[in-house]
Amino acid sequence: MEQTLVLVKPDGVQRGLIGETIRRLERRGLRLIAAKFQIVDRELAEKHYAIHKGKPFYDGLIDYITSAPVMAMVWEGPGAIAAVRQTMGATRPTEAQTGSIRHDFALEIGRNLTHASDGQETAKVEIELWFQERELIQWSRDTDRWIFENV
Give the footprint of ligand IDP on residues 4-33 (CB under 6 A): none
Closest CA to 143 of 57, 26, 36: 26
Q: Which of 41, 27, 25 is nearest to 115 (CA)?
A: 25
Q: Which residues, 6+ apart, have CB-to-CB distance to 113 below 8 Å?
A: 8, 9, 11, 12, 15, 17, 21, 88, 101, 102, 105, 106
**52 catalytic, yes or no?**
no
Applying CB under 6 A, the span of 18-26, 39-47, 111-119, 134-142 interacting with ligand IDP comes to 111-119
Strand partners, 78: none
Backbone φ and ψ for 115, nearest 5 degrees, come out as -125, 145
Handedness of CA 91, 92, 95, 97 (dihedral sign): positive
If one asks whether residue 109 binds ligand IDP (CB under 6 A), the answer comes out as yes
Q: Judged by CB under 6 A, how many residues of this single chain contact ligand IDP?
A: 8
Q: Which stretch binds ligand IDP (CB under 6 A): 12-20, 29-37, 76-84, 112-120?
A: 112-120
Least distance in angstroms from the C-beta of 72 to ligand IDP: 14
135 touches ligand IDP (CB under 6 A):
no
Q: Is residue 61 within the footprint of ligand IDP (CB under 6 A)?
A: yes
- Residue 112 interface partner, choices Mg ion, ligand IDP, none, CB cut-off 5-8 Å depending on type: ligand IDP
57 near ligand IDP, judged by CB under 6 A: yes
Distance of CA 127 to the CA centre of its chain: 10
- Using CB under 6 A, which of 79, 110, 141, 151 touches ligand IDP? 110
Supply the residues annotated as catalytic. 115
